[in-house]
């Protein structure tokens, strides 16, 4: 087996860690369903579409999965598992939460795929968060937002880009650095890089 292929093969530790990240993000989503859901309603009432600025926390799974696991499908797996957990324990958006998780996970995954799973810097984390936000925007557009008109959708698109970059991309990258500093990611390239170990 060639080295590039070996680098992209999932190990048992990758699977276990991806599952743990998915469950942890699912718990975060459950909390954010209440906090973020309420904030969305308040902010969106001021200017329709701007409520999207609070959505980035729901995109963390894809960013974390991609930055930590660094294997094909990791961003999608973690985001979808988190959405499943959120749905199973009472998301107010029910089954659409899973569809949204798939769209967000695919958006984040696409960034890592384009970069051949070789780059994992802050800009890549930010781009994957934006990718998740764009995935959400497309899904929600077909789920009913496109009927709200051009102005709403342009504002909402801008909000998704900003929230994806900051609340998913930047926050996700900072979370990975924090986890790595504790030694929790020493079995991963992300942990060894940040702690200066080979």
Each domain of the chain, given as residue ranges in start order, spans 3-194
Give how far Cα 109 sits from Cα of 28, 74, 116, 184, Å. Answer: 20, 8, 11, 23
User: Crossing angle for the helix pair 60-69 and 74-88, nearest 10 degrees?
Assistant: 140
pTM of the model: 0.92
Task: Provide the percentage of residues in the chain whose pLDDT is more than 90.
Answer: 79
Residue 3 has pLDDT above 70, yes or no: no
Residue 198 has pLDDT above 50, yes or no: no
Computed over every residue of the chain, the mean pLDDT equals 92
CA distance 198 to 179: 17
Residue 2 has pLDDT above 70, yes or no: no
Q: Distance of alpha carbon 152 from its chain centroid, rounded?
A: 23
Q: What are the pLDDT digits (tens) for 44-99?
A: 999 999 999 999 999 999 999 999 999 999 999 999 999 999 998 887 778 889 99
Task: Provide the percentage of residues in the chain whose pLDDT is more than 70.
Answer: 96
CATH 1.10.3470 fits 3-194, yes or no: no
Per-residue model confidence (pLDDT) at position 193: 82
Q: What are the pLDDT digits (tens) for 112-157?
A: 999 999 999 999 999 999 999 999 999 999 999 999 999 999 999 9
CA distance 9 to 194: 22
């Amino acid at each position: 087996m060639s080295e590039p292929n070996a680098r992209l093969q999932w190990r048992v530790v990758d699977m276990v860690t991806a599952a743990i990240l998915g469950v942890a993000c699912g718990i975060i989503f459950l909390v954010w369903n209440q906090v973020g859901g309420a904030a969305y309603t308040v902010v969106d009432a001021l200017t329709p579409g701007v409520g999207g600025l609070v959505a980035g926390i729901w995109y963390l799974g894809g960013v974390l999965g991609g930055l930590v696991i660094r294997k094909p499908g990791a961003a999608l797996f973690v985001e979808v598992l988190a959405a499943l957990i959120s749905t199973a324990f009472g998301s107010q958006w029910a089954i659409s939460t899973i569809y949204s998780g798939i769209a967000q996970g695919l958006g984040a995954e696409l960034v890592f795929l384009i970069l051949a799973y070789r780059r994992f810097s802050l800009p890549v984390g930010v781009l994957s968060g934006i990718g998740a936000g764009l995935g959400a925007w497309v899904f929600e557009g077909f789920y009913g937002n496109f009927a709200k008109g051009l102005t709403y959708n342009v504002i909402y698109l801008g909000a998704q880009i900003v929230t994806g970059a900051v609340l998913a991309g930047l926050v996700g990258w900072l979370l990975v650095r924090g986890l790595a500093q504790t030694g929790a990611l020493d079995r991963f390239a992300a942990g060894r890089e940040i702690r200066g170990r080979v």
